[in-house]
Amino acid sequence: MMPAEAPWRQRLPAGVADSALLTQALTHRSAAVLHNERLEFLGDSVLNQVISAQLYDQCPESPEGDLSRLRASLVNQDSLAAIARGLGLGESLLLGEGERKSGGKRRDSILADALEAVIGAVFLLAGHAAAQRFILDLYTERLAQLPSAQSLKDPKTQLQEYLQDRGIEIPLYKTLEVLGPTHAQQFRVSCAIAALSLSLEGQGSSRRRAEQDAAARVLAQLQQETGAHGAS
């Protein structure tokens, strides 16, 4: 049985805390045949629906694109893992020996998946309304401090909009080099704007991340130059 003092357990609806389904939600596939992946699938859907509905009500002036970015910022792995970690969920996870020894209780992917599985269990055991209350309780602070939609746009999108506003053609991205073994590759990518005779490089563990890094560098330089010209 999980420790009664675990903060996340105190938030569970009545009748959920000591259930076999909740134990399954906390069980990683490395620990047992009956693990939490199906519950994670269900919890992910419930979480997205609840957060979508909340943002729809909370942000009546926001267009679809902004709502999508806000939702993505709330339900991504980093956010879920941070919530799970803050609640001490990792200490209640059931992991195989290998995962325990390798620090699985602290791994973002495992924490995020487990939290979604717990949401799935709450939904099945207590219903949609209870799952909604549980989710909104977990997200109280994040929903009260939503970032601006503009700040959530990735660097490639921000750069494209910056250029389009000024009638400049969108940049060309080119993979220059791929280093390292398959499981730990590093990409080097260039971002070039022909009209401005500007090209900078970025790096990352995937082609997308390298492109984002390059775009961020180009955007920063353009904004710096704009600011310098404006000050002169």
211 is in an annotated binding site: no
221's CB contacts (< 8 A; 6+ apart) are 198, 200
| Residue 108 zone, left/alpha/beta (φ > 0; ψ -120 to 50; rest) | alpha
57's CB contacts (< 8 A; 6+ apart) are none
Token reading at 100 = 């325990």
Q: Rounded to 5 degrees, what angle do the CA atoms 144, 150, 153 make? A: 110
113 is in an annotated binding site: yes
44 is catalytic: yes
CA–CA distance, 131 with 62 (Å, rounded to integer): 25
| Active-site hit among 5, 18, 37, 44 | 44
Token reading at 185 = 């590759």
Nearest residue to 104 via CA among 44, 12, 27, 181? 27
CA–CA distance, 12 with 91 (Å, rounded to integer): 16
154 is catalytic: no
40 is in an annotated binding site: yes
| Active-site hit among 99, 116, 211, 213 | 116
| Residue numbering of the annotated binding site | 40, 113, 116
By annotation, the residues acting in catalysis are: 44, 116
| Residue numbering of the annotated binding site for Mg(2+) | 40, 113, 116
